[in-house]
Amino acid sequence: SRTSEMALITVVWQTFSDTFKNDLALSTFEFGWMLGVLPLYYALSVSTFVCLLRLVEKNIPAKQLVAAVFTSTQKTLAFGLPLLQTIFQGNEALGIISAPLLVYHPMQMLAGALMQTKAVKMIANEKNDRGTDN
């Protein structure tokens, strides 16, 4: 809903503001390393999830597979930021603690946008193979 979207945007804005107001405290090397490692972690997470899901449900429909992939990995910011803010409230290192999450979420969105075309084709191909609109 629009209310939950606005709440999430407010949380993200507040965390970004707090992070940069209190000094990020990451060197250029550390920030670059984080930008290099997080995409690998995301790819490994998604791949592992898909493999495990297919082990459990061998003939999972494409629609369900796509929905599972997108919903299994996309909740970190909505859940993670309020949790970090609660646990580390008042800690001057909150910026550095939340930095990976602040980078990870936009990366998830970019990866999701890049995977969208393949997901649509996968669902369309399954429909054509089955000859159904389900």
List, for residues 60-86, the tens digit of each pLDDT value: 888 888 888 877 665 566 677 778 878
pLDDT reading at 134 higher than 60: no
pTM beyond cutoff 0.75: no
CB 23, CB 95: distance < 8 Å: yes
Q: What's the rounded mean pLDDT across residues 33-54? A: 86
User: What pLDDT does 108 receive?
Assistant: 78
CA-closest candidate to residue 67, choices 50, 82, 48, 80:
50
With a pLDDT cut of 90, the percent of the chain lying above it is 0
Angle, CA 20 vertex, CA 18 and CA 25 arms, to 5°: 115
pLDDT score of 20 more than 70: no
Amino acid at 100: P
Torsion sign, CA atoms 106, 112, 115, 120: negative
Q: What is residue 70's predicted lDDT score, i.e. its pLDDT? A: 76
- pLDDT tens per residue, range 99-125: 777 777 777 778 878 888 888 888 888
More confident residue, 133 or 58: 58
